[in-house]
Each structure stands twice: as structure tokens, then as C-alpha cells.
Amino acid sequence: MAGGFRIIGHRGARGLFPENTLEGFQGAWALGVRAFELDVGLTRDGVAVVAHDPVLNPDLTRDAAGAWLPGPGPAIHALTAAELAGFDVGRLRPGSRAAGLFPRQRPHDGARVPDLAAVLAALPAAEWIIEIKTDPTRPDLTAPPDLLADAVLTQIDRADAAARVVVESFDWRIQAYVRRVRPDIGLAYLTRPDAPADPWWAGIDPADHGGSVPACVAAAGPAGCAWAPAFAQLTRAALREAHALGLAVLPWTVNAPADMRRLIGWGVDGIITDDPDILAAVTAAAGNSTTPTRG
């Protein structure tokens, strides 16, 4: 993603609205957010749905009777879309860690886990970074990478959204597959310190690239792809190297204004944040343009 600094709402804008919900995306859009990151899993009957965790999160999920789940689960992949629709994800459990992290989040009782098609259709002018959630260390938790990627690509095409989406994953098998079958789709490569190259990077060995993460991304991806590092992992030298390699750099998840100012000063191409309203204020003060454009 090149051509202008982007404010990217993480899971919609989970500092303000229930994460990865249609209500959350629409609420953030009404505040002026124009680019979003979301997460996708696959139900038992093959529906691509917008959810971060492979299993239902008890900190934000209630059953049809309104009772909080007693613990994690069941798995998204073990439920049909109809079964998943019976759960309410519109409020944070009082006293939970999530509630403490996001005290400004406004509840929206009745919000459901949406399917990807509904989200793409609801905001036809938005840009989307779609994280496909698979884990090579836990293949039992999700659909295989190719099946999940195919389901996502089908929904992208139904929404005529190929020109305004980027697909990303920590599991680089996803990007390798998408690059092979749909070279027109933009790609980003997620990294974090606890996801080592083996088995997450689909055979890319840092030893072959001088230990450089940006060089590994450039080797794995097409020209003009993006690197999405955990923001604390990013150094100014790595950012310069990434830009020299032609990569856009989109750090996540940046919520503290001081970190936002530092990264903007370094020249990142966008910031993924739970608090896009705060980032908008920081960028305005810094004199940055936040007009969404696509490179």
C-alpha cells in the first residue's frame, strides 16, 4: 500500500466499537476512518467470517440466552454459519482484561460475527487489509490455508473488491498461494517476534538473506508488497531498508500517541491502530495527509 499515509482501523476500531463487527466498521466509517484491518476464519460449512480468534473468545461472547461463555470455545471451524450467528459479540465482559484495555469501547448488544461478504458490501468505498487466520503449529484449529484463501477470494470477487483489498497473514503459505492463483491481489507479510521463520514463513530462511526481515519479505513477495511488523519490532534502520527494497511498512498495533508520533516521524506508510480517532488527531497535528489512496 503506497501513495499516502493511511490510518488503518484495527479489527474495525476496537478501542471504540465491538471488534470485527459490522456495527463497528460502520461506526468507524462514520467517524471518517477509510481503511480497515480485519481477520477471517472459516466455518464448518465453508463461510468466510470476520473473527480474530480461532475459538470464541469468552471476554466478548455471550450465548443465545445472554450468558457469558464460561471459557474459550467452541472453534469457529467447528460451527456452521447458522450456529455461529447465535452468539452475541457486541459487548466486553465486565471486569475482563479486554474491558480494562478498551474502556472507551461502546457496546452494541446484538452484534454478531459477520460474514466477510456482508462487511465488504456494507462499505463499498473502504480499503481492507484482510488477515487470513491459520496456524501451521495448530492445523486442527482452522481450515487448510488453500481452502480458507479460496473462500476469501470468492467473497472478494463477489464484492468486486479486488482493487481495494490486501491479503495478509503470519502464515506465509497464505500469501504464497494467493500470489500463485491471484497475482492481482495485493499482499502484506505479518511478522512478530514469537512467530519464527520456521514454520511460519513458508520456507523463507533468514540465513539466506543476511538475517534481515525486510529482505525476507522482499524475497517472499511481489514488487510493491507490504511488511506489517509488530511496532515494537520495527527499527528506523529496518524501515529504511524496507523502503529501499520497495516495501510499504504498516506497523501494528499502535495505540500510544508517543509511538504514533515517533513512527510518523520515521516515515511509515500507515499505522494499524485500535484508536483511529487518536491517530487522526496525531496526524493532523503532524501535518500529514490521511487521504486514502492506492498504489
Q: Any idea what the CATH number is for the domain that residue 191 is in? A: 3.20.20.190
Number of folded domains that form the chain: 1
List, for residues 240-271, the tens digit of each pLDDT value.
999 999 999 999 999 999 999 999 999 999 99
Three-state SS at 146: helix
Of the given ranges (1-10, 128-137, 179-188), which has the lowest mean pLDDT?
A: 1-10
Alpha-carbon torsion (148, 151, 157, 159), positive or negative: negative
Please state whether the predicted TM-score (pTM) of the whole model is above 0.85. yes
Q: Over the stretch 190-247, which tens digit does the pLDDT of each residue have?
A: 999 999 999 999 999 999 999 999 999 999 999 999 999 999 999 999 999 999 999 9
The set of residues, in sequence order, having a beta carbon less than 8 Å from that of 210 and lying 6+ positions away, is none
Is the pLDDT confidence value at 284 over 60?
Answer: yes
Q: Identify the band that residue 295 occupies on the pLDDT scale cut at 50, 70 and 90.
A: very low
Q: Which domain holds residue 170?
A: 6-286
The reply to whether 215 falls in a domain is: yes
Residue of 91, 191, 77 lying closest to 131 (CA atoms): 191
Residue 109 scores a pLDDT above 90: yes
33, amino acid identity: V
Whether residue 294 lies inside any domain: the answer is: no
Instruction: Let me know if residue 295 belongs to a domain.
Output: no
